[in-house]
Amino acid sequence: MTDGIVQTIPYLCKRCYSCVRECPAIAIRVESGQAVVIPDRCISCGHCVTVCSQNAKSIKSDVDMVMNGILGSGKAIAMIAPSFPASFPDTFGRIPTALRKLGFMNVVETAFGADLVSNVYVDELQSNPDVTIISSACPAVYNYIESYYCELVPKLAKIVSPMIAMGRYLKKNYGDDIKTVFIGPCIAKKSEILNPQVEGLIDAVLTFEELKEILEDKNIDIRNLPKSDFDPPHSYMGKSYPLAGGLLKSADISGDILEKEIIVVEGKNKVEEILNELLHNKINAKFIDILFCEGCISGPAVDSNLNYYSRRAKVIDYIEHQNRMVDKLVWKSNIYNNRELDLSRTFEYKDKRIETPDEEKIREILAQSNKLTRQDELNCGSCGYKTCREYAIAIAKGLAENDMCLPYLIDKLEKAYIDLKETQEQLQSAEKLASIGQLAAGVAHEINNPLGTILLYTSLIKKEISKRAENPQTIEDLELIAEETNRCKNIVSNLLNFARQGQMKISEVDVFDLINGILKTVRLRPEFKGISFNVESEADETVIPGDGDQLKQVFLNVINNACEAMEERTVKKISVRLLKDDRYFVTEITDTGNGIPKENMNKLFTPFFTTKKIGKGTGLGLAISYGIIKMHKGDIRVKSSVGEGTTFIIRLPLSSN
């Protein structure tokens, strides 16, 4: 095998993972969403090429070498694979003419190489009656065995493929200086010619698709060319090699369906099944003829719109037509004259298997995509792997990424959408609060001074009237003026607090002590008499980073509101629960008050919104609290049921980073 026979075109790859699903060697690694072929693991079967709807897989091309080098030598011989009628169903009789027009001095049938190796298979079977032999004509099959079923390497027939056999024949009969070009439907042939065992016998490999591109580029219309025959040597039953069981037919080996000792296998899935059976000694057949595709007529580079049966019929028609014209005496003579041709080769152990991770590692990876139980493993195959476990194993082996699981990504996207929506709402609220804050700062500044003046003169007038012992009603009226003026000053003070949000002094704050200190003060207020308070901490540590004064203001606002909400209730109880999760310290403050109507829930943190009686509240407490919590990068939420009570949930980050 060599590097780079099949490659990914990054800008065309669209995260469909079809190639991952179809790759028998797991030779495709997903990197940043792109399905990249790993050259060292690839067996060049070409299945990833056939299933890619975006044409994002490219094949190593020998076109330039052939057109700009080999044909210029004047000694180029083209070898056509016997499956060519499947790719050129209406013009196959004109292919030899077209190739000669391109500049090839001879055009021969690779099928004669198939005739040569067929006899060797007969000898191999007769010489080894007690062992299982696997055919070695298909390079994708032996590439697969060498890399992933190494224990089966000894069972591979030590025989070259028909292409290599024909290459040796041509070099022997025409000289080593000739240039040979194989043309066929197989991508794996491009890797086969680079194998050190057979290197130099075939100089280049073109696919049928590449041949069509060359003819189009040279403005050669096959339909307008005359028919012509191949140059000798002519083949006989070797033409049947591209069909399932063609080797058996060519070698005249019995392939009766009741014959247990002979098995014919075609297609990727069946190849995997038979190799696993052989690996575990479940099959005792004497000979197994394997093709990685459903016959070479279904090779990844056949490039034909015909279905399987139509392609098969075209090849059979060609065989029947051509074999009627073959001089069998000449054919036998050619076979006999090349009986000493070396058609042997050996195969190597190239173990590319990666050790499977332990169960703990698999479970850890599954958990990263929220697959915590067997029921969570949907095995939908959207990632390209048959099961979630296979996907997790691929991640552990460095062959896949975490973000390939579609259900997980959908859940992640839904959460991201919810978070985005919340962020947008928070941003809108922050913008609104910022605008109100600017307005509040200006208003507070303008009002504060006149209020101070009113208080001062009210106090002076009250003092003067008290000296004269005049009408007590007047004093009472002045006290009311002062009281209302002070209330205005409180409102102004709250406005300033609201406007100045953004300035924090971060230190360590013990929330448990902070809340207990607030409750100690609240219990002393006469209007809150009869309320029971309970604080429970489920957190092992209650210290967090924050601005103690501002957080005290938040908890005081919420607790005061909770107390006031129970004014008319029989059961008056406030429960404070402290707990932690992975990132946040959570404070839940629950009251048994009247609850908040649904229509008011969205208005709670809006400045100046209040449901309290006139004179009882400004509607700024929760707005200020909301701003303080957001400055701390936390959040504040409310759950309420009318007639049952309300819970404020305040979450503050455990870390200031």
Is 347 inside any structural domain?
no
Q: What are the DSSP calls for 294-333, one per residue?
A: SSGGG-TT---SS-HHHHHHHHHHHHHHHHTT--HHHHHH
pLDDT tens-digit series, residues 548-580: 888 988 999 899 989 988 888 889 999 999 999
Strands 573-580 and 532-537: parallel
pLDDT higher than threshold 50 for residue 200: yes
pLDDT tens-digit series, residues 211-243: 999 999 999 999 999 999 999 999 999 999 998
Residue 386 per-residue DSSP state: S
pLDDT higher than threshold 90 for residue 258: no
Q: What is the SS3 assignment for 63?
A: helix
Q: Note whether 454 and 529 are same-domain residues.
A: no
Question: Which candidate, 314, 394, 386, places its Cα nearest to that of 357?
Answer: 394
Is 598 inside any structural domain?
yes
Q: Note whether 254 and 390 are same-domain residues.
A: no
Is 344 inside any structural domain?
no
Q: Which residues contact 619 (CB under 8 A, 6 or more apart)?
A: 606, 607, 608, 609, 610
Q: Note whether 278 and 290 are same-domain residues.
A: yes
Q: What is the pLDDT of residue 2?
A: 42
CATH number at residue 47: 3.30.70.20
pLDDT higher than threshold 60 for residue 393: yes
Is 154 inside any structural domain?
yes
Is 542 inside any structural domain?
yes
Is 381 inside any structural domain?
yes
Structure tokens at 45: 């079967």
Question: Whole-angstrom Cα distance, residue 485 to residue 427?
Answer: 35
Tell me whether residue 359 is exposed, middle or buried, using C-beta atoms within 10 angstroms of its C-beta: 0 to 12, 13 to 18, 19 or more.
Answer: exposed
Tell me what the mean pLDDT of segment 66-79 comes to.
Answer: 92
Q: Note whether 367 and 284 are same-domain residues.
A: no
Top pLDDT among 110 and 528 is at: 110
Q: What share of the chain in percent tops pLDDT 70?
A: 90
pLDDT band of residue 369 (cuts 50, 70, 90) is: confident
Q: Which residues contact 466 (CB under 8 A, 6 or more apart)?
A: 475
Question: Whole-angstrom Cα distance, residue 547 to residue 292?
Answer: 70
Residue burial 200-239, b: 16+ Cβ < 10 Å; e: rest? ebbbbbbbbbbbeebbeeeeeebeebeeeebbebbbbbbb
pTM of the shown model: 0.66
Q: How many domains does one find in the chain? A: 5
Tell me whether residue 532 is exposed, middle or buried, using C-beta atoms within 10 angstroms of its C-beta: 0 to 12, 13 to 18, 19 or more.
Answer: exposed
Tell me the range of 67-71, 259-263, 374-378 where mean pLDDT is highest: 67-71
Mean pLDDT, the chain, whole residue set: 86
Q: Which domain holds residue 606?
A: 504-657
Q: Note whether 373 and 330 are same-domain residues.
A: no
Q: Note whether 386 and 452 are same-domain residues.
A: no
CATH number at residue 414: 1.10.287.130
Neighbours of 375 (CB within 10 A): 7
CATH number at residue 634: 3.30.565.10
Q: Note whether 202 and 272 are same-domain residues.
A: yes
Residue 560 identity: N
State the alpha helices, DSSP H only, in 9-110.
18-22, 47-51, 63-65, 84-87, 95-102
Of 305, 337, 369, which residue constitutes the final position of a domain? 337
Q: Note whether 413 and 400 are same-domain residues.
A: no
Q: What is the pLDDT of residue 497?
A: 61
Q: Note whether 492 and 545 are same-domain residues.
A: no
Structure tokens at 622: 């929760």
Structure tokens at 500: 């100045």
Of 404, 420, 435, which residue constitutes the final position of a domain? 404
pLDDT tens-digit series, residues 264-311: 999 989 999 999 999 998 888 889 999 999 889 898 888 888 999 999
Is 123 inside any structural domain?
yes
**In 140-235, beta strands by DSSP E:** 179-184, 204-207
Q: Note whether 416 and 383 are same-domain residues.
A: no
Q: Note whether 390 and 424 are same-domain residues.
A: no
Of 454, 476, 500, which residue constitutes the final position of a domain? 500
Among 346-355, 456-465, 601-610, the minimum mean pLDDT is found in 601-610
pLDDT tens-digit series, residues 508-528: 999 999 999 999 988 888 888
Q: Note whether 462 and 598 are same-domain residues.
A: no
pLDDT higher than threshold 50 for residue 1: no
pLDDT band of residue 439 (cuts 50, 70, 90) is: low
Question: Whole-angstrom Cα distance, residue 121 to residue 236?
Answer: 16
Is 352 inside any structural domain?
no
Residue 528 identity: F
